[in-house]
Structure 1
């Protein structure tokens, strides 16, 4: 065997060893009870084992903490700054900026080309790094399904390509990553470690997520759908994965209208 070939094999082996060590550093989703706190951080009940908070909040140091990152759209309070400083990453069509119709202050990121996806990843990377530095164990990457709102300006394939890069980036920072909704997407094939599904009982999507992720699913149901969906979820899946009922606004504890129940 030539010296060059031997060196190449040694480098390859070292690379595989490094990758294996890196994967081991990603802490898997534990079982238990989830409190979904995107509307503001507060002290959860004693039985809570997993807390989900916005990336601008501190993690719960005594529980498995998931960092919410709006990875495919702008946050309402950041859109104007991005329009001035990084306009190239924002999706614009013939009619102007493309917004989420349900969240009209959130403009979609432009994922239509590899070059633009790279620019968006550069934007998102410090957010993910910040989650790791703050002590979160995982991230929840929201709005994977934004391609359905892109007015055809980018495709599901574009979104999946970006998601694949996003998952790799999270793992590089030692973080697990959760797929948010988008039941059409085979998240594990893109590197996602768990799923966060909203209203899967209402939309009859729970079984699909369970088939993809087994018990590594966080199910969130909302009070404005009535109690039937939550009751059905608890009856049918109480021992499959964590199920949490929240008020739609995800209000902090102590505010009028705050609801959090689990089963």
Structure 2
């Protein structure tokens, strides 16, 4: 979510599109889109999208953007990823009253947000399904579910790696059942177990914390790693990012339209 949460502080083209689809058997044939390594992208979660950046992939907020915004990007030849928060409750979202108090944990450091009890799949699955349905109705190609590494944080719940794997796989199924691809957000320790369940990765600050090598299973599988740094200048991470095949850029922490790609 606009920040990293693993082992660090909370602060802490058309050609590509044409080649990004492949078929996969998952109880039926699916031709959902998958970004390939090296795909350039824009990540804007602050306000309605500015469509003027010339890249093949946009990752934008699912609530703050309309179906017409997604359609505009599609007309321009873009693929569009729907950002939603999966691991935390957000007081400012229209569905906030649907979350029972029993699944709300500690504040996560961002105003109006609290960790969720990801053990409660029975409660969270239908709530997240509604969010994924919203993404599908608006025409998104993929989903970026945030905070998929709750077990590494002080949430107020006794979460384990096993709970996280079950939750993350549920999240991936929700996207795939709706014909959308899905990205694994951070959660580097579980990449070996989850790389087959997810279609790409989204990472924050792997260069700052010397973790970028952990993302290579996605690259080796032909799946993009969409990567940003907030504090490290391009001159200090782009050489490694290009060598590893990451789709890297610098962004401001508020994730507005500004970007500096490698």
TM-score normalised by structure 2 residue count: 0.77
Structure 2, gaps ≥5 residues long: 1-23
Q: Give the C-alpha shift of residue 18 in structure 1.
A: 7.2
User: Conserved in 2, the CA contact under 8 Å of 1:167 and 1:190?
Assistant: no
**For the residues of structure 2 that align with 1:238 and 1:135, how far apart are their CA atoms?**
31
1:171 equivalent in structure 2: 176
CA spacing shift, 1:178–1:17, aligned 2, 3 Å? closer
Matched residue of 1:103: which SS?
A: coil
The answer to whether structure 1 residue 241 and structure 2 residue 246 are counterparts is yes
Matched residue of 2:215: which SS?
A: helix
Matched residue of 1:203: which SS?
A: coil
Q: Give the C-alpha shift of residue 20 in structure 1.
A: 3.4
**For the residues of structure 2 that align with 1:73 and 1:50, how far apart are their CA atoms?**
25
Q: Give the C-alpha shift of residue 17 in structure 1.
A: 7.1
Matched residue of 1:153: which SS?
A: coil
The answer to whether structure 1 residue 64 and structure 2 residue 64 are counterparts is no
Larger radius of gyration: 1
From the two aligned structures, give the one with the greater helix fraction.
Answer: 1
Q: Give the C-alpha shift of residue 45 in structure 1.
A: 2.1
Matched residue of 2:226: which SS?
A: strand
User: Conserved in 1, the CA contact under 8 Å of 2:86 and 2:146?
Assistant: yes
CA spacing shift, 1:66–1:18, aligned 2, 3 Å? closer
1:109 equivalent in structure 2: 116
**For the residues of structure 2 that align with 1:207 and 1:18, how far apart are their CA atoms?**
29
CA spacing shift, 1:89–1:65, aligned 2, 3 Å? farther
Please list every run of at least 4 consecutive aligned residues from structure 1 whose deviation after the TM superposition is greater than 6 angstroms.
Answer: none
User: Conserved in 1, the CA contact under 8 Å of 2:116 and 2:155?
Assistant: no
Q: Give the C-alpha shift of residue 110 in structure 1.
A: 1.5
2:9 equivalent in structure 1: none
CA spacing shift, 1:18–1:66, aligned 2, 3 Å? closer
1:197 equivalent in structure 2: 203
**For the residues of structure 1 that align with 2:176 and 2:91, how far apart are their CA atoms?**
27
2:213 equivalent in structure 1: 207
Q: What RMSD, in angstroms, separates the aligned Cα atoms of the two structures? A: 2.3
Matched residue of 2:90: which SS?
A: coil
Q: Give the C-alpha shift of residue 85 in structure 1.
A: 4.1
**For the residues of structure 1 that align with 2:201 and 2:25, how far apart are their CA atoms?**
28
Structure 2 matches for 1:74-113, cutoff 5 A?
74-78=89-93, 82=96, 84-88=97-101, 90-92=103-105, 98-100=106-108, 102-112=109-119
Kindly provide the CA deviation profile for residues 34-83 of structure 1, in whole angstroms up to 9, marking residues without a partner as x.
Answer: 1111112112322x11100011213221311111010110224139x63x
1:35 equivalent in structure 2: 42
Q: Give the C-alpha shift of residue 251 in structure 1.
A: 2.1
**For the residues of structure 1 that align with 2:211 and 2:112, how far apart are their CA atoms?**
28
2:146 equivalent in structure 1: 142
Match of 1:221 among 203, 208, 229: 229
**For the residues of structure 2 that align with 1:124 and 1:139, how far apart are their CA atoms?**
11
1:13 equivalent in structure 2: none
Query: Greater relative contact order (Cα 8 A, min sep 6): structure 1 or 2?
Result: 2
